[in-house]
Structure 1
Amino acid sequence: MSTALLEGISMGLLLSAMVGPVFFTLIQNSLQNGFRHTAVLASGILVSDLLYVLITYFSVNLFAKSSYFEIVLGYAGGLVLGGFGLSSIFKKNVHRPNSGGIPVLKDRKRKGFWKGFSINGINPFVLLFWISIAGVVAIKDSFDALDIGLYYTGILVTVFSIDLLKAFVSKQLSGFVTPKLMQKLNIGVGIFLVLFGIRLAWFAYEKHQALLGGYY
Structure 2
Amino acid sequence: MSTALLEGISMGLLLSVMVGPVFFTLIQSSLEYGFRFAAVLALGILLSDTIYVVITYFGIRFLADATWFEQGLGYLGGAILVGFGISSLVKKQVDRPNTGGIHVPQHRKRTAFAKGFSINGINPFVLLFWISIASLVSLNEEWGASSVISYYVGILVTVFSIDLLKAFIAKKLSRFVTPRLMKGLNKLVGLVMIGFGMRMIAWAMGLLGR
TM over 0.5: yes
Q: Distance in 1 between matches of 2:58 and 2:20?
A: 27
Q: Contact between 1:7 and 1:154, CA under 8 Å: does it hold in 2? A: yes
Which residue is 1:7 aligned to? 7
Identity, in percent, stands at 66
User: Residues 97-176 of structure 1: matches in 2 within 5 Å?
Assistant: 106=88, 111-171=111-171
Number of residue equivalences: 138
Equivalent residues of 1:9, 1:154 under 8 A apart: yes
Task: Quote the offset at 1:123 in angstroms.
Answer: 0.5
Partner of 2:196: none
Q: Do the aligned partners of 2:35 and 2:171 also contact (CA within 8 Å) in 1?
A: no
In structure 2, list runs of 5 or more residues that go unmatched: 66-84, 92-107, 177-210
Equivalent-residue separation in structure 2 for 1:122 and 1:173 (angstroms): 30
String of CA shifts for 1:13-45, please: whole Å, max 9, x gaps.
000000000001100000000000110000000
Offset of residue 170 of structure 1: 1.1
Q: Which has the higher helix share?
A: 2
Distance in 1 (CA, whole Å) between partners of 2:87 and 2:29 is 10
Give the C-alpha shift of residue 106 in structure 1.
2.2
Q: Which amino acid aligns with 2:16?
A: S
Root-mean-square deviation (Å)? 2.9
**Which residue identity lines up with residue 2 of structure 1 in the other structure?**
S
What letter is aligned with 1:127?
L
Partner of 1:40: 40
The residue type paired with residue 35 of structure 2 is F
Distance 1:20 1:57 in 2: 24
Partner amino acid for 1:152? Y
* Structure 1: runs of 5+ lacking an equivalent: 64-68, 73-102, 176-216
TM-score normalised per structure 2: 0.60
Deviation at 1:61, TM superposition (A): 7.0
4+ aligned runs moved over 6 Å, structure 1: 107-110
Structure 2 distance, partners of 1:150, 1:39, is 23
Q: CA–CA distance in 1 between the matches of 2:122 and 2:173?
A: 27
Give the aligned residue type for 1:134: A
Q: Structure 1-normalised TM-score?
A: 0.58
User: SS at 1:142's partner residue?
Assistant: coil
